[in-house]
């Protein structure tokens, strides 16, 4: 009888141990899942700064947020050099210069979205950000019948919320790897020097449509880049199609 009692106690102890182990496993799994979920939510999303390519090609882009005095000259220079680029337009600029928007589109240049009002997007909720994105898209579409699918954040500011919202709505977020600093009015020679020295295969170069010295600097830059064997294309033509990933610490788009 005593033997049976001892055996019963051992079996009961074993069952309790197994139950406790199982409960501990389930609890730990739940915690791990939550930790993984939080970690995934906080993985830093990055836009595309440049593209990994062995081809000697790069993209030139113009941000349009103020003024249009120099834009016709830029369009003429690009036409004379048989070059297509990408113009990132703000909604406030589109409203003020609708005919210029049409001319840019008619010349065959790619149109990108640069927000409706050029705000600090990191301070916006997802709903507010999407309003900036979608309302500007509609403004551009009404004038050109072209949908924008590239977004450049004002001031170069971005966060996970905005990047994910863009991608959910069919956009890729575009930064730059070469900054002309033309908006600082640093002079023709300084602009040319910055761009040509820093140009590289897969580069995305940033200019502004109404910077004072850009019309004078641009022909020199184009001539020098062509002499170095570069092909200049719109941003979307530079991007990798199909499966890719964006290197987190550099923003370089690479084939998966």
The whole-number pLDDT of residue 5 equals 45
What average pLDDT does this structure show over 238-256? 97
Q: Which residues are CB-neighbours of 230 under 8 A, at least 6 positions away? A: 56, 57, 58, 199, 201
Same domain, 39 and 158: no
Percent of the chain with pLDDT over 70: 84
* Residue with the two structure tokens 């295969």: 201
pLDDT for the residue 18: 63
- In terms of domains, do 56 and 22 share one? no
Strand 244-246 to 252-255 pairing: antiparallel
Instruction: Give 129: exposed, middle or buried? Use CB within 10 Å, 0-12, 13-18, 19+.
Output: buried
131 band by pLDDT with thresholds 50, 70 and 90: very high
Residues 133 and 32 in one domain: no
Q: What is the pLDDT of residue 32?
A: 44
Same domain for 143 and 241, yes or no, is yes
Looking at the predicted structure, is the pLDDT value of residue 240 above 60? yes
Residue entry with tokens 């939080």: 38
Domain count, the chain: 2
* Range of weakest confidence among 35-49, 60-74, 222-236: 35-49
pLDDT at 42 over 90: no
Helix (H) or strand (E) holding 36: helix 2-41
Statement: residue 2 has pLDDT above 90: no
Q: Give residue 220's pLDDT.
A: 98
Catalytic: which of 114, 208, 243, 249? 208
Mean pLDDT confidence for 47-66: 98
Is residue 248 within 8 Å of 44, Cβ to Cβ? yes
Is 109 labeled as catalytic in the residue annotation? no
Same-domain status, 24 and 60: no
Which residues does 95 contact at the CB level (< 8 Å), separation at least 6? Answer: 139
Q: Which residue has the higher pLDDT, 39 or 198?
A: 198
Q: How many residues does the chain have?
A: 256
pLDDT reported for residue 172: 98
Residue 43 is predicted with a pLDDT of: 85
Over residues 76-88, the mean pLDDT reads 98
* Host domain of residue 19: 1-43
CA 15 – CA 9 distance, rounded (Å): 10
Do 29 and 83 lie in a common domain? Answer: no
- Residues 207 and 193: their CA atoms lie apart, in Å, by 14
Q: Which two tokens stand for residue 122?
A: 């990191």
Mean pLDDT, residues 141-157 taken together: 98
Name, in order, each residue with C-beta under 8 angstroms of 115's C-beta and a sequence gap of 6 or more. Answer: 90, 91, 121, 132, 133, 136, 151, 153, 154
Mean pLDDT of the chain: 91
37 shares its domain with 58: no
Regarding whether 57 and 30 lie in a shared domain, the answer is no
User: Which of these is catalytic: 63, 114, 118, 182?
Assistant: 63
Q: CB-based contacts of 181: which residues, under 8 Å, 6+ apart?
A: 190, 191, 194
Q: What is the mean pLDDT of residues 84-93?
A: 98
Task: Mark whether 39 and 157 lie in a shared domain.
Answer: no
Name the phi and psi angles at 238, rounded to 5.
-80, -30
Contact partners, residue 175, CB within 8 Å, separation at least 6:
47, 48, 49, 152, 153, 156, 158, 204, 251
> Each residue of 182-231: pLDDT tens digit?
999 999 999 999 999 999 999 999 999 999 999 999 999 999 999 999 99
- What does the pLDDT read at residue 21? 62
Highest mean predicted confidence (pLDDT) among 9-13, 26-30, 223-227: 223-227
Active site residue 200: no
Q: Where residue 197 sits, what CATH number does that domain have? A: 3.20.20.370
Do residues 144 and 73 both lie within one domain?
Answer: yes
Residues in CB range of 91: below 8 A, 6 or more apart? 115, 116, 117, 132, 135, 136, 139
What is the pLDDT at residue 36?
A: 39
Q: What's the predicted TM-score (pTM) here?
A: 0.84
Tell me: do 3 and 56 sit in the same domain.
Answer: no
Residue 140: its pLDDT value, please? Answer: 98
Average pLDDT over residues 246-253: 97
Is the pLDDT reported for residue 1 higher than 80? Answer: no
Task: Indicate if 100 and 16 belong to the same structural domain.
Answer: no
């Amino acid at each position: 009888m005593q033997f049976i009692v001892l055996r019963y106690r051992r079996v009961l102890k074993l069952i309790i141990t197994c139950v406790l182990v199982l409960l501990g496993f389930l609890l730990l799994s739940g915690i791990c899942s939550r930790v993984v979920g939080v970690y995934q939510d906080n993985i830093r999303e990055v836009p595309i700064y440049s593209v990994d390519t062995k081809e000697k090609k790069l993209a030139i882009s113009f941000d349009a947020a103020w003024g249009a005095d120099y834009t016709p000259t830029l369009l003429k220079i690009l036409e004379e050099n048989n070059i297509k680029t990408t113009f990132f337009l703000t909604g406030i600029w589109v409203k003020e210069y609708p005919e210029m928007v049409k001319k840019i589109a008619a010349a065959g240049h790619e149109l990108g979205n640069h927000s409706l009002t050029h705000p600090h997007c990191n301070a916006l909720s997802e709903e507010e950000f999407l309003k900036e994105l979608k309302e500007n898209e509609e403004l551009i579409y009404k004038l050109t019948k072209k949908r924008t699918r590239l977004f450049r954040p004002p001031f170069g500011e971005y966060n996970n919320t905005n990047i994910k919202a863009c991608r959910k709505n069919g956009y890729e977020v575009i930064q730059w790897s070469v900054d002309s600093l033309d908006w600082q009015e640093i002079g023709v020679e300084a602009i040319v020097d910055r761009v040509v020295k820093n140009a590289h295969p897969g580069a995305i170069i940033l200019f502004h449509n109404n910077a004072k010295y850009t019309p004078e600097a641009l022909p020199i830059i184009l001539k020098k880049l062509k002499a170095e064997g570069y092909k200049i294309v719109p941003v979307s033509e530079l991007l990798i199609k199909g499966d890719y990933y964006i290197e987190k610490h550099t923003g370089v788009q690479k084939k998966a």
